[in-house]
Amino acid sequence: MTAKSRCGFLVLGVVFAARAAGAHIEPIDPSSCTFDPIVVDAPALALWAAAVPARAIDALEITYDTGASAATFEAGSVPARAFGGSGIAGTLAFPATFEMQMQASGDLAAESIPLAFTVDGVAANVRTTLTTGLAAAGDVIVEGAPLTGRGWFTLVGVVGSGTLPPPLGGAPTIIRLTCQATPAPDLDQFADPTLSRALSGIITRRAVHLRAVLEPGRSQSPDFAGTPAIVRLTAAETTIASVHLPTGLAPRGRRAFVGRSADPPATVVVRRAHRGMYVLALRVRGATMPSEAGAITVQMTYQVGGLLSRVSRLLRATGGGRAFMCCEP
């Protein structure tokens, strides 16, 4: 190859690299988003309510900062939404502005977002985590849904007992907010998500033994001992098992982190593997078995060490449907 040819290839390489870099940092147009439905639910108290149908004035604006991997929700002109249902009535208002971290997976999360409630005429200002992942308080665990290519997503939060006015104050209260971001943002420009794969193990009525391989994104630094751990196992509409460890996972030696719960009796273990990867093992005594026969697609959603991810796998029935398994536990 001549010097001139080498120079030509070098120039082309620089041009293509510049185009790729430029495409990756292109600004994203703001989105409009109207939360509808909005659901307020206290399952332990058999209380449930939904907000009145949305109007044009209820639309928020979402702006995006790809450099910070953040989405800012602008709700300054959005009025409080009335809600009503079985045994409760009130209103819910959002802060004028709140920012959420955003990943290329479409997941959004923010802690301590202020919400203004009235319940049966009594006002209360509360703070809660909103996320498309897992939220928990006490024995209540709820899961949202990440932003899809069409812009749909669901944020969830749980307000702890004793925080809201009666009759809601006696138990954790779940908040679900669903909307469609229009236009949908280009997710590729946000932070790398945690990658999960190789879900394997066995599920029976007596116990769950599963494990998965985790690979944090390049900018993620897991803190297993300093952040709560939540794991939820589902198949279709059935919650097979769930674990909430508010104090996180305790170090065990140089390579492992372990957390245990008494109700349900469960153990979550994360071990360092190689090349920045980890292995998560879930052991739970007892499980709610799905009604499907033959095979089920199981999804494990987890938040451990500040990492949020999901992994699913087809598990086949064995023993006449008494167990579902794939590979080695």
Please report, for the domain that includes residue 200, its CATH number: 2.60.40
Burial class (CB in 10 A: 0-12, 13-18, 19+), 235: buried
Half-sphere exposure of 36 (CA within 13 A, CB side): 15
More confident residue, 328 or 42: 42
What's the domain count of the chain? 2
Question: 99: part of which helix (H) or strand (E)?
Answer: strand 97-102
C-alpha 181/C-alpha 30 separation (Å) is 9
Determine, yes or no, domain membership for 221.
Answer: yes
In angstroms, the CA 124 to CA 87 distance is 18
Name beta bridge partners: 154. 145, 178
**Residue 70: which pLDDT band, with cuts at 50, 70 and 90?**
very high
**Is 323 exposed, middle or buried, given 0-12, 13-18 or 19+ CB atoms closer than 10 A?**
middle
Identify the CA nearest to 125 among candidates 142, 113, 137, 141: 113
Residue 184 and residue 298 in one domain: no
Spell 104-126 as b/e; 16+ CB within 10 A means b: ebbbbbbeebebebbbeeeebeb
Domain extent for 260: 195-326
Q: Of 129, 158, 188, which residue constitutes the final position of a domain?
A: 188
Q: What is the DSSP letter of 258?
A: E
Bridge partners, residue 138, by sequence: none
Residue 65 has pLDDT above 60, yes or no: yes
Question: CA 210, 213, 217 angle in degrees (round to 5)?
Answer: 140
Q: Assess if residue 4 is contained within a domain.
A: no
Are residues 225 and 257 in contact, defined by beta-carbon separation less than 8 angstroms?
yes
Run of H or E residues at 93: strand 89-93
Do residues 44 and 176 share a domain?
A: yes
Give residue 328's pLDDT. Answer: 53
Among 4-13, 25-34, 175-184, which stretch is predicted with the lowest mean pLDDT?
4-13
Residue 321 sits in the same domain as residue 283: yes
- Residue 214 belongs to some domain of the structure: yes
**252 shares a domain with 141:** no
Claim to verify: residue 41 and residue 182 sit in the same structural domain? yes
Secondary structure letter of residue 171 according to DSSP: S
- Which pTM does this prediction carry? 0.89
Q: What is the rounded distance in angstroms from the CA atom of residue 157 to the CA atom of residue 175?
A: 5
> pLDDT for 190-213, tens place per residue?
999 999 988 999 999 899 999 999
Query: Rounded to whole angstroms, how far apart are CA atoms 100 and 93?
Result: 17
Same domain flag for 170 and 200? no
Q: Report the alpha-carbon distance of residue 4 to residue 125 in Å, rounded.
A: 69
Residue 181 clears pLDDT 80, i.e. is over it:
yes
Average pLDDT for 97-114? 97
pLDDT tens sequence across 297-311 = 999 999 999 999 999
